[in-house]
């Protein structure tokens, strides 16, 4: 079986292959034709191949999908931070595309192989739409800030104000259109629609927050456990201890998908105000000396674990399972 490490960039694929006792290197175009050439080269002299890629934004996705669909190839997509730390552990100081490909080959040879599971087409479409909604929302916030500044500047900015207002109206219409399409994708897919129905039973979640959260959770492997979801969101507590003298306060790692954190933040705030169990848990954390932001983050983390349980057990929201009101509790 051939093993390959492949560094993916916008235009090219730098590949290092081992098989038959030899190591070979080659570069391909990061196009559909280049992917076909890459697959033929990967299987040369064998009937099976294992490939290791880095998750490089959007650039690796089409290659990963092409490899996933091929029956003779297994593909693993690794976190770039993990790949870089692995290379540094082997005293690799330089960083070029061919060197990165060599490092990924070593990674697939030495580390446990975890096959990548491709998200369904509907899930990829939902993620694309939901992320576009987030982008337009950020643009709206920027334009509203510019409008506020223009108004404060004085009456000479009225033409600018009118232009910004027109742009805000256009952005809002485009955002609403993207959101409607995202909701249509969810409702057209039975699995996504059922997940959305369960999340909708949680106080604080509405259509927009549900689609944003589902767009990031649905692509995750089905066998991931609740702590892995928490780590994926970057809200796992990170202790800082060394010897007997270093005892820093715990902070969240933030080494995960920031979009999951963003999708949880506002629903958590709303739920604290409108759900007795969530409010009681939040007040309990404050009474234990936690800051408001730490308490909100803890609510987000516990809420994500609850969502994992709801989706895996196909159960609607039950506040008493989140935090019981009639018994003393601990953080």
Residues 224 and 318 in one domain: yes
Residues 309 and 273 in one domain: yes
How many CB atoms are located within 10 Å of the residue 237 CB? 14
Residues 233 and 287 in one domain: yes
Domain boundary among 84, 110, 136: 110
How many CB atoms are located within 10 Å of the residue 232 CB? 19
Assess if residue 198 is contained within a domain.
no
The per-residue pLDDT for 108 is 93
Q: What single-letter DSSP state applies at residue 156?
A: G
Domain boundary among 86, 110, 134: 110
Residue 330 pLDDT class (50, 70, 90 cuts): low
Structural domains in the chain (count): 3
Whole-model pTM?
0.85
Would the pLDDT of 287 be above 60?
yes
Mean pLDDT, residues 29-56: 94
Mean pLDDT, residues 131-137: 96
Residues 242 and 304 in one domain: yes
Assess if residue 184 is contained within a domain.
yes
Assess if residue 206 is contained within a domain.
no
Distances (CA, A) of 107 to 18, 78, 170, 232, 280: 13, 9, 48, 21, 47
- Residue 253: domain span: 217-322
Q: Which of 93-107, 209-223, 251-265 has the lowest mean pLDDT?
A: 251-265
- Which residues are CB-neighbours of 7 under 8 A, at least 6 positions away? 13, 14, 15, 54, 97, 98, 100, 101, 104
Residues 237 and 294 in one domain: yes
Assess if residue 102 is contained within a domain.
yes
In a 3-state reduction of DSSP, which class is residue 44? Answer: coil
């Amino acid at each position: 079986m051939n093993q390959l490490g492949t560094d993916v960039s916008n235009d090219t694929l730098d590949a290092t292959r081992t098989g038959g006792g030899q190591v070979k290197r080659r570069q391909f175009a990061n196009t559909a034709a280049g992917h076909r050439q890459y697959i033929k080269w990967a299987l040369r002299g064998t009937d099976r191949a294992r490939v290791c890629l880095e998750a490089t934004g959007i650039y690796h996705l089409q290659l990963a999908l092409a490899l996933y669909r091929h029956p003779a190839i297994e593909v693993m997509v690794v976190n770039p931070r993990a790949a870089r730390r692995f290379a540094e552990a082997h005293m690799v100081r330089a960083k070029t595309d061919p060197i990165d490909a060599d490092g990924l080959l070593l990674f697939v040879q030495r580390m446990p192989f975890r096959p990548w599971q491709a998200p369904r087409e509907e899930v990829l479409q939902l993620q694309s739409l939901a992320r576009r909604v987030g982008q337009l929302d950020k643009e709206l916030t920027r334009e509203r800030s510019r409008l506020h500044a223009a108004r404060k500047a004085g009456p000479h900015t009225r033409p600018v104000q009118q232009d910004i207002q027109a742009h805000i109206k256009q952005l809002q219409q485009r955002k609403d259109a993207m959101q409607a399409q995202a909701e249509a994708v969810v409702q057209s897919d039975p699995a996504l629609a059922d997940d959305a129905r369960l999340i909708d039973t949680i106080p604080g979640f509405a259509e927009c927050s549900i689609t944003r959260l589902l767009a990031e959770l649905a692509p995750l492997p089905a066998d991931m456990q609740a702590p892995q979801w928490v780590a994926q969101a970057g809200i796992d507590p990170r202790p800082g201890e060394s010897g007997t003298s270093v005892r820093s306060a715990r902070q969240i790692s933030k080494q995960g998908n920031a979009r999951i954190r963003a999708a949880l933040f506002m629903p958590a705030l709303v739920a604290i105000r409108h759900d007795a169990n969530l409010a009681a848990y939040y007040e309990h954390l404050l009474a234990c000396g936690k800051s408001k932001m730490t308490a909100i983050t803890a609510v987000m983390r516990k809420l994500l674990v609850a969502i994992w349980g709801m989706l895996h057990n196909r159960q609607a929201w039950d506040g008493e399972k989140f935090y019981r009101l009639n018994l003393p509790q601990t953080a």
